[in-house]
Amino acid sequence: HSKAAGRNAVQFFDPSMQAAVVQRATLQRELRHGLRDGELLLFGQPIVDVRAQVCGHEALLRWRHPVRGMVPPAEFIPVAEQTGLILPIGQWVLREACRVLARWAADPARAGWTLAVNLSARQLRQPDFVDSVRQALHAAGADPRRLKLELTESLLLHDVEDTIAKMEAPTGLGIQFALDDFGTGYSSLSYLKRLPLTQLKIDRSFVRDLLTDPNDAAIARTILQLAQSLEMEVVAEGVETAGQYEVLRAMGCRLFQGYHFGRPAPLEPAASSPEPAPPA
Ligand code: C2E
Ligand code: MG
Ligand code: MG
Ligand code: MG
């Protein structure tokens, strides 16, 4: 047995690594075809105010794979980011989101709603980023003031001056920027002040145990105070219970998102039911 192990030590790949490489290549090819063949779709999850009234949605990408069924973004966005496929996918998401906004604008019950779109840092780094946003809005006839763009702290790992410059032009159009998953990344407070952000989203990892973990409660309260000083809105993510909602409201939080208010569901008016609850 030890002899065999010695021989194996000179292999470049072990079989499991090779399988992972093949699997990734397959995923990449299928995703490219999926984008081409219309297998991507946008779900939306409501964002509500202090009276639990819907004031907007976050657009969440789904991939309806012909064999594997509905694939969540965690399973394909990382590959899309590594391969650059996130650029045409992100462009599709932006155009689709703008079409949704234009439809909402024609409906008095929804005309005031905002739609938040997740951007990957790589999209923002594209030289034609601002143009592509402008084109998507123009093509759909959507109001830029209803579009929110969600960024993550990972974009602060790259050229911050360039990031600020890329954010300023859309801000001029009335587009607002939110910092997603706040508290989990690399934010430095000095950058936070310099970026033209209007919103912080408290990551759901701090909301989950809010009622039982004093540290999480302290973090949530601190983020709310920080945002108030910087004159930013806060959305609490991952609110699953009335108790979490009440505590966050008492802390001064004004905007909420989570299963307690609504699960992600197709944004297309024709389409059907929300995502099933995961097994308990
Ligand atoms: P995110 O932007 O932080 O989106 C919120 C995620 O939390 C969504 O997962 C949503 O379904 C989930 N969520 C909402 N409320 C609750 C709750 O009460 N409890 C729990 N446990 N989860 C909740 P989803 O849709 O699987 O998306 C995962 C991530 O994928 C997103 O996190 C975002 O980073 C990324 N993503 C989604 N759509 C896009 C897109 O169009 N472009 C890019 N670049 N990334 C996207
Ligand atoms: Mg988000
Ligand atoms: Mg988030
Ligand atoms: Mg998240």
Q: Determine the Cα angle at 91 with ends 128 and 56, to 5°.
A: 115
For residue 62, the CA-to-ligand 1 centroid distance in Å is: 10
Instruction: Answer whether residue 188 shows pLDDT above 90.
Output: no
Q: Which comes out higher in pLDDT, residue 40 or 20?
A: 40
Residue pLDDT, tens place only, 43-86? 999 999 999 999 999 999 999 999 999 999 999 999 999 999 99
Instruction: Answer whether residue 87 shows pLDDT above 70.
Output: yes
pLDDT band at 271 (very low <50, low <70, confident <90, very high): very low
ipTM, two decimals: 0.98
Instruction: Answer whether residue 2 shows pLDDT above 50.
Output: no
pLDDT band at 12 (very low <50, low <70, confident <90, very high): low
Question: 3-class SS at 19?
Answer: helix
Question: Can you tell me the distance from the alpha carbon of 129 to that of 176, in angstroms, rounded to the nearest whole number?
Answer: 15
Residues with CB under 6 A from ligand 1: 45, 60-61, 72-74, 77, 90, 93, 118-120, 150, 180-181, 204, 238-240, 257-259, 264
Tell the residue nearest (CA) to atom 35 of ligand 1.
73
CA distance from start to end of the chain: 44
Residues 257/235, Cβ–Cβ less than 8 Å: yes
Q: State the DSSP code for 110.
A: T
Q: Report the C-alpha dihedral over residues 159, 163, 164, 165, rounded to 10 degrees.
A: 100
Nearest CA among 262, 268, 263 for reference residue 38: 268
Which amino acid, residue 251? Answer: M
Residue pLDDT, tens place only, 152-163? 988 877 788 989
Residues 272/266, Cβ–Cβ less than 8 Å: yes
For residue 238, the CA-to-ligand 4 centroid distance in Å is: 9
Task: Tell me the ligand closest to 47's alpha carbon.
Answer: 1
Instruction: Answer whether residue 173 shows pLDDT above 80.
Output: yes
* Residue 53: its H or E element: none
